[in-house]
Amino acid sequence: MKYLISLVVGMAVGVAAFLALLYYNPMTSQNKLSPLSVSDNVVINFNYSAVATDALVYTNDGESTVVPYPSKVLQLWEPTVRLTDTMATVMRDSRNQPAAIGIKFSSRSESTRILNGEAIIDSAWHIRTRPGKPVCRTAGKLLGLSARNRYSSLS
Amino acid sequence: MFKTFIAGILLGVAGAAAALYYFPAVNQSREQSLIVVHPNRGNTESFHVNIPMDRVMTGAPSQKEPLPVGLEWPVDPLFADTRAELFKVRNGKDTVVGVASRIAANNESSGDIVEWVLHLPARGSAYVRMQAEPLEDGYRTGTLATGTREFAPLVGRVTEHWVADTSGAEDAPAGRIELTTSFVAREVEEE
């Protein structure tokens, strides 16, 4: 019996040690340099608040830590969209002036690999920029962007 | 007993690693794609939005009844000509399969704009630019400008059409926006 208890305690310690190693693994830290900083393309910077109540609309499955805003917004509770957040927000330029309306879709990605320290969010942006603003060829029209955000999995 | 404890630790480490490797951390729920193959006309897939029950947001200036209740649309002149909407998107079996945004705008510098982004979490996103003016039969056509994941290697057309409900049922929607996609692989289109 004592051997069985020893084995079980050892396994618990092993699992805890493995998870601790994943959590504190310095090899899984995020890149400090954005790929955009070395891009040849024109780069437009928009700022927005990630706080749900600062958005025009934020919705999710209604059971997550972040509460949908406004409170009566339709929630994404269906199984196919349960792991998706959607936000509409005002995007601001570097002078903090309104520059665009942005709609962001974020879904947890099946490419997530906890073992590699990668918690991946598949995001798609739909942005309406300021008409006539000479920042790129699609200025004044709608700019479709997509992004694949990688977050350090446990931190 | 100490050797058993050490063996337990190794077993625990190996078990945790194996579990993380073999069991997906994220498993998106999927619905079967309902693609129809037409004789000599490629293949199409239909999506629709039931109005008003699938409407998540209607953002436009000077709305008497904003949706959702409590929405404060910015009064900046920048957004005066813009109407942004968010919907749930359903497949041919009336099952929600994703979310979509539709932005329509009209101003002197950019002209009329109607665009969609369809975001299907299990499949990817499609960014569609529509013609501003609908055709005589009420259809508005557009093209797939770009996409992610499943939609990334595709090109093709999309039509938007409003279908009013004629069933007269008490709980029936007022109508629905039908989106019909006709996509093929980029390589096929270039041949």
Residues of A in contact with B101 (CB under 8 A): 88, 103, 105, 126
- Within a 13 Å sphere around the CA of B184, how many CA atoms are in the beta-carbon half? 10
Query: A92: which 2 tokens?
Result: 């601001």
Rg (CA), chain B: 23
Cβ contact A90:A104 at 8 Å: no
Beta carbons of A132 and B109 less than 8 Å apart: yes
Sequence-distant (6+) residues with CB within 8 A of A104 are A85, A86, A87, A88, A89, A123, A124, A125, A126
Q: In chain B, pLDDT over 90 holds for what percent of residues?
A: 55
Write out the residue range of the structural domain in which residue B105 sits. 32-190
Is residue B142 assigned to a domain? Answer: yes
Residue A90, CA distances (Å) to A126, B69, B72, B93, B115 in order: 12, 18, 11, 35, 18
* Yes or no, beta carbons of B28 and A112 under 8 Å apart: no
SS3 B136: coil
Q: Which of residues 93-122 of A touch B (CB under 8 A)?
A: 98-99, 101, 103, 105, 107-110, 112-115, 119, 122
Closest Cα in chain A, distance from residue B138 (Å): 23
The domain locations on chain A are 1-30, 31-152
Decide if B75 touches A, using CB distance below 8 A: no
Which residues is A92 bridged to in the sheet?
Answer: A47, A98
Sign of the CA dihedral running B23, B27, B32, B33: negative
Mean pLDDT of chain B: 89
Question: Inter-chain contact A81–B99, Cβ cutoff 8 Å?
Answer: yes
- Name the more confident of B136 and A145: B136
Helix, coil or strand: residue B123: coil
CATH of the domain at B162: 2.40.480
**Tell me, what's the ipTM?**
0.89
pLDDT score recorded for residue B82: 87
Res A35: pLDDT: 65
Residue B88 pLDDT = 97
Interchain pair B105, A98: CB under 8 A: no
- Collect all residues of chain B within an 8 Å Cβ-Cβ radius of residue A141: 110, 113
User: pLDDT digit string (tens) for B53-86?
Assistant: 999 999 988 888 888 998 988 888 888 888 999 9
| Segment (H or E) for B14 | helix B2-22
pLDDT for res A129? 81
Mean pLDDT of successive 10-residue segments in chain A (155 residues)? 91 93 76 68 83 94 93 95 95 89 92 83 86 41 45 40
Domain membership of residue B90 (yes or no) is yes
pLDDT at A145: 45
Q: What pLDDT does residue A30 have?
A: 63
Most confident of B16-20, B62-66, B185-189: B16-20
| pLDDT above 90 for B50 | yes
Q: Is B6 left (phi over 0), alpha (psi -120 to 50) or beta?
A: alpha
Instruction: List pLDDT tens digits, range B145-164.
Output: 989 899 999 999 999 999 99
> Could you give the CA distance from residue A8 to residue A14 in angstroms, rounded to a whole number?
10
User: Rounded distance, CA B125 to CA B98, Å?
Assistant: 9
Burial (CB count <10 Å: 0-12, 13-18, 19+), residue B146: middle
Which residue, among B50, B82, B110, would best test binding to A if mutated, counting the most A CBs under 10 Å from its CB?
A: B110
Q: Are B140 and B160 in contact (CB under 8 A)?
A: yes
Better-predicted residue by pLDDT, B19 or A37: B19
| pLDDT for the residue B188 | 66
- B42, part of any domain: yes
Tally of domains in chain B = 1
Query: Is the Cα dihedral A10, A16, A18, A24 positive or negative?
Result: negative
Q: What percent of chain B has pLDDT over 70?
A: 96
What is the H or E stretch that residue B21 is in?
Answer: helix B2-22
Collapsing DSSP states into helix, strand and coil, what is residue A2? helix
